[in-house]
Amino acid sequence: MEIQNLGPDDFALAQVDAVEAVHIGRGWSASEVVPGIEMRWRQGSNLFGLLMPLDRLIAQAGELEGVAFYLRLAVYEPHGEVPDGTRLWFEDLPSAPY
């Protein structure tokens, strides 16, 4: 996916609300936590979020250096409409090179 497919209006409507380092639980045990990322953004009135373990984020981005590109792409690529007041959460990068 290339960012050049996005028009100027796509960039004007996208806004990152927050990016945080978090601990994400795996399984039922509190001892099974891994470092992760939580990112919340909006495109106009549509709210989106990404919550995923850091190791999976790096793997899906192809390498650590690719993470920033794919986070930016997640914010700016169109995701469609969501009901007002709700946030659509992703657990994977929408355009990752799987």
Distance (Å, whole) CA 58 – CA 36: 10
Give, rounded to a whole angstrom, the gap between the first and last alpha carbons of the chain.
12
Q: pLDDT value at position 28?
A: 77
Q: Which two tokens stand for residue 95?
A: 């355009």
Each residue's pLDDT tens digit, 36-93: 999 999 998 899 999 999 999 999 888 999 899 989 988 988 888 888 789 999 988 8
Q: Are 54 and 74 in contact (CB under 8 A)?
A: no
C-alpha separations of 73 from 4, 35, 48 in Å: 11, 22, 13
**pTM confidence score:** 0.78
Domain extent listing, the chain: 3-85
Longest Cα–Cα distance in the chain: 46
